[in-house]
Amino acid sequence: MNNREPSIELKAYAKINLGLDITGRREDGYHDLKTIMQQVDLYDVIRLYAEAEITGSQEPGQILISCDHSMIPTDESNLAYKAGRLLFDEFQITDSMLIEIEKNIPMAAGLAGGSTDAAAVLRGVNDYFGLGLSDDELMQRGVKLGADVPFCIMGGTAYAEGVGDQLVPLGVMDDFVVLLAVPDTRVSTKWAYTTYDKMLLAGEIVHPNTDQLRAAIEMEDFGCVPDFLGNVLELVTIPEYQIVARVKNEMMKCGAAGTLMSGSGPSVYGLFIDEEKAATAFDWLVSQELVPEERIFLTGFHN
Ligand code: ATP
């Protein structure tokens, strides 16, 4: 890591889905969704160091990535790089920049880890170089990098349609304690959606009521939220990855008000009203050794 003061430092928050339904399949192969996303207080730290001397580069407008997690790519495929490149090219920025990523969000877990890093870089570059882009303008650029990027710029709680990019903010949610567990296995998003299509044809899909969940949040009837959590992809992922159901069970036994898998999994969380119960559930879950301790987080909503 760098010993110098960063030009700018930002927190890039993870998201969970409180509701996720698939409403159709588009001609481009993507699926139309109805989803409610919520930022949680688990974050990567993004540090931007501007100036050529820091990157050691002679070329103007270079962007370098460093990350403390060896599995994250540090080349041009990193979403944080793509975000920086997008604004550097559009605004013809000739400074060079080092983007340092302190990775705390488990990757490929349905928590939007890459998207949120990209969102933070868009924000950071906009602020540091005084580009004057509004949140809406940043979101218009962010969607080119990934469907979750606009939400990561907006933050808080939001309802989304389309591929997740048509957003409606849902105001400030009540705070729940979130016990989040990320089983150490990888679920391919592509596999999940393909399997969903097959199950739909076979008549094996029951849709969650995302509208009911949205209405409860809009009416500030937050007590109902744990009861109305629903993710259509649980039907797909759980039969193949039973760890998700086992973790959900343990959380319910420990007094969670509701549990849900996030995205296509394998992340799974429980919402708790009582902090003490949640802390006891955390200890219990660690003791069960279903999920490595470093992949279990006691966190909350970030509004
Ligand atoms: P989403 O919830 O948006 O579908 P995810 O949380 O499931 O995303 P990510 O953590 O974003 O998944 O990782 C998906 C892939 O993106 C990884 O395999 C990784 O190689 C790549 N990637 C590119 N940039 C990043 C980044 N900054 N952080 C994490 N992964 C990144």
pLDDT at 29 over 90: no
Three-state SS at 299: strand
Task: Please tell me the distance between residue 109's alpha carbon and the centre of ligand 1 in angstroms.
Answer: 8
Name the pTM for this structure. Answer: 0.94
Average pLDDT (223-232) is 96
- Give the integer Cα–Cα distance in Å for 74 and 99: 10
DSSP 221-283: -GGGHHHH-EETTHHHHHHH-HHHHHHHHHHHHTT-SEEEE-TTSS-EEEEES-HHHHHHHHH
79-90 pLDDT per residue, tens? 999 999 999 999
Name which residue leads in pLDDT, 7 or 82.
82
153: enclosing H helix or E strand: helix 149-154
Question: What pLDDT is attached to residue 51?
Answer: 78
- Whether ligand 1 lies within 6 angstroms of the CB of 183 is answered as no
| Percentage of the chain modeled with pLDDT above 90 | 87
pLDDT confidence bin for 226, thresholds 50/70/90: very high
Question: What pLDDT is attached to residue 172?
Answer: 82
End-to-end Cα separation, the chain, in angstroms: 30
Question: What pLDDT is attached to residue 261?
Answer: 97
**Joined tokens for residue 27:** 């001609």
Catalytic residue flag (residue 175): no
136-160 pLDDT per residue, tens? 999 999 999 999 999 999 999 999 9
Question: What pLDDT is attached to residue 3?
Answer: 66
Task: Please tell me the distance between residue 202's alpha carbon and the centre of ligand 1 in angstroms.
Answer: 31
- Whether ligand 1 lies within 6 angstroms of the CB of 108 is answered as yes
pLDDT confidence bin for 6, thresholds 50/70/90: confident
- Whether ligand 1 lies within 6 angstroms of the CB of 112 is answered as yes
Catalytic residue flag (residue 148): yes
Task: Please tell me the distance between residue 230's alpha carbon and the centre of ligand 1 in angstroms.
Answer: 23
Closest CA to 262 of 28, 14, 16, 2: 16
- Give the integer Cα–Cα distance in Å for 114 and 105: 9
Question: What pLDDT is attached to residue 228?
Answer: 97
Question: What pLDDT is attached to residue 28?
Answer: 86
- Give the integer Cα–Cα distance in Å for 150 and 246: 33
Ligand 1 atom 30: residue of nearest CA: 114
- Give the integer Cα–Cα distance in Å for 100 and 14: 17
Question: What pLDDT is attached to residue 242?
Answer: 95
pLDDT confidence bin for 60, thresholds 50/70/90: confident
Mutate to test the pocket of ligand 1, among 35, 67, 72 (most ligand atoms within 8 A of CB): 72
pLDDT at 57 over 60: no
Ligand 1 atom 27: residue of nearest CA: 114
- Give the integer Cα–Cα distance in Å for 10 and 256: 31
Average pLDDT (43-60) is 78
247-292 pLDDT per residue, tens? 999 999 999 999 999 999 999 999 999 999 999 999 999 999 999 9
**Joined tokens for residue 39:** 């930022």
Which of 21, 44, 117, 148 is catalytic? The answer is: 148
